[in-house]
């Protein structure tokens, strides 16, 4: 079968392709090849700007034509590199040969041997991949997390004054406000986004075993460490100073763990929203023609929160594997990182799918305040904490035990039950007035 959305093995490239296609320029095979070409070209230009004496003939007015190779990079160009790879059986060497092929007949042709000069493949990969990830984060991924954050802020403000029964261990507990419960997630996400922004994008650039061996033997008087630092910084990253053949990936692991923590918070949110829907605290906006169940016509399922939770779970499983695997490599390098890194876009794709589903679910919610109020009215026992606390303040004997005796009887506690209890207390009229003012609707704290 030819590859299509119907025949793709992964749902990322099948069922969900339309939701994640904007990630393809960063994480697809085309994207990886494109970024490799970009790094090779920028490295060649950096050598010219350093300058290397043998490159004096390459002038700045030729740089736009060099950059056009990656700025105008096409799928046909990527396919040409794949065709070259069939002969070389080496993907990065195929990129080098492609660039040399493109520059034949140009003013730069006499200097072609300075393409990929002194480098190993991982100098290209360990700059291309973190750069593609950084730009994908900036353009496509983090804006979605911030969109969820902002939507939650809006809902927290909208529902700020809505009293709601809290539940701890699944049982009725001291009332809260719906807006505050949403704000819990706002704060959690905000802190994680802040931590995420502090993680540097690290790159490895230092030759076959991280020592600039080839560079130093060819030009022993050049400060290659400074060159490497400047080159990587110009790309918007920081160069790891001491490496083997590959980046040690500690910063990448920290980044993946940060996204995993964000996703864990959102799984918690998905489950809470799902539960509120099941409790009828929210109704869901209906869409003409949609079906909730193939057997039960009445069903309107919280599928967006379920879809989000499922995709976040897949993403987190991959994030955990990647962050645990990538920093481990035998001696100066084995090939396991290369295989694993090819899947770096998959957990981000599942995260994007999840975020879009979560946003869709949030936008479908319609507050059912009648159900929320009915739950509060049905649980007057939750004001027991308030009453016993005030009685403690007044020096009343054993107030906790008195309220425990009142409320733990398997007899329904109503407003009348509480009113009668207060009337019979041996306290001042002022305190009784204070106690009578406490209801499940007003006892919501700060």
Which residues does the annotation mark as catalytic?
Answer: 169, 293
- d(C-alpha 37, C-alpha 183), whole Å: 45
Residue whose C-alpha is closest to residue 30's, from 61, 76, 64, 85: 76
Q: Which two tokens stand for residue 91?
A: 């993907």
DSSP secondary structure string, 133-185? HHHHIIIIIHHHHHHHHHHHHHHHHHTTT-EEEEEETTEEEEEEEHHHHHHHH
Q: Is 238 helix (H, G, I), strand (E, B) or coil?
A: strand
Residue 67, Cβ neighbours under 10 Å: how many? Answer: 14
Looking up tokens 């599928």 gives 303
Do 293 and 299 contact (CB within 8 A), yes or no?
A: yes
- d(C-alpha 59, C-alpha 395), whole Å: 89
- d(C-alpha 138, C-alpha 134), whole Å: 6
Q: Cα-flanking dihedrals φ and ψ of residue 76, to 5°?
A: -65, -40
DSSP secondary structure string, 365-410? EEE-HHHHHHHHHT-GGGGHHHHHHHHHHTT-SSHHHHHHHHHSSS
- d(C-alpha 285, C-alpha 293), whole Å: 16
């Amino acid at each position: 079968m030819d590859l299509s959305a119907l025949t793709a093995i992964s749902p990322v490239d099948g069922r969900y392709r339309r939701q994640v296609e904007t990630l393809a320029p960063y994480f697809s095979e085309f994207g990886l090849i494109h970024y490799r070409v970009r790094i090779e070209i920028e490295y060649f230009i950096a050598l010219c700007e350093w300058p290397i004496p043998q490159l004096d003939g390459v002038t700045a007015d030729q740089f736009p034509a060099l950059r056009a190779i990656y700025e105008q990079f096409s799928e046909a160009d990527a396919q040409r590199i794949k065709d070259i790879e069939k002969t070389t059986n080496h993907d990065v060497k195929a990129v080098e040969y492609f660039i040399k092929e493109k520059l034949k007949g140009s003013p730069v042709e006499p200097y072609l041997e300075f393409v990929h000069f002194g480098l190993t493949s991982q100098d290209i990969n360990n700059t291309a991949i973190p750069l593609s990830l950084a730009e994908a984060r900036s353009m496509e991924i983090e804006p979605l997390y911030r969109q969820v954050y902002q939507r939650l802020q809006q809902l927290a403000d909208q529902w700020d004054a809505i009293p709601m029964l809290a539940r701890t261990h699944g049982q009725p507990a001291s009332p809260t406000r719906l807006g505050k419960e949403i704000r819990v997630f706002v704060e959690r996400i905000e802190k994680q986004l802040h931590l995420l922004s502090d993680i540097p994008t690290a790159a490895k650039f230092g030759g076959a075993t991280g020592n600039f061996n080839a560079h130093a033997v060819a030009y022993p008087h050049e400060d290659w460490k400074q060159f490497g630092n400047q080159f990587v910084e110009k790309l918007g990253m920081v160069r790891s100073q001491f490496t083997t053949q590959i980046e040690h990936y500690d910063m990448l692991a920290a980044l993946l763990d940060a996204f995993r923590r964000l996703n864990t918070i959102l799984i918690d949110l998905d489950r809470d929203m799902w539960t509120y829907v099941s409790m009828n605290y929210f109704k869901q906006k209906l869409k003409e023609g949609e079906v909730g169940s193939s057997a039960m016509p009445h069903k309107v399922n919280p599928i967006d929160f379920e879809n989000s939770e499922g995709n976040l779970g897949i993403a987190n499983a991959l994030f955990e594997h990647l962050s645990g695997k990538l920093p481990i490599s035998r001696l100066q390098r084995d090939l396991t990182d290369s295989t694993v890194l090819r899947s770096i876009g998959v957990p981000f794709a599942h995260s994007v799918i999840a975020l879009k589903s979560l946003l869709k679910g949030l936008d479908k919610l319609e507050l059912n305040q009648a159900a929320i109020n009915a739950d509060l009215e049905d649980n007057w026992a939750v004001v027991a904490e308030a009453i016993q606390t005030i009685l403690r303040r007044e020096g009343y004997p054993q107030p906790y035990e008195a309220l425990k005796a009142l409320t733990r009887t398997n007899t329904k506690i109503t407003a009348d039950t509480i009113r009668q209890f207060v009337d019979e207390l041996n306290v001042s009229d002022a305190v009784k007035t204070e106690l009578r003012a406490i209801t499940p609707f007003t006892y919501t704290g700060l």
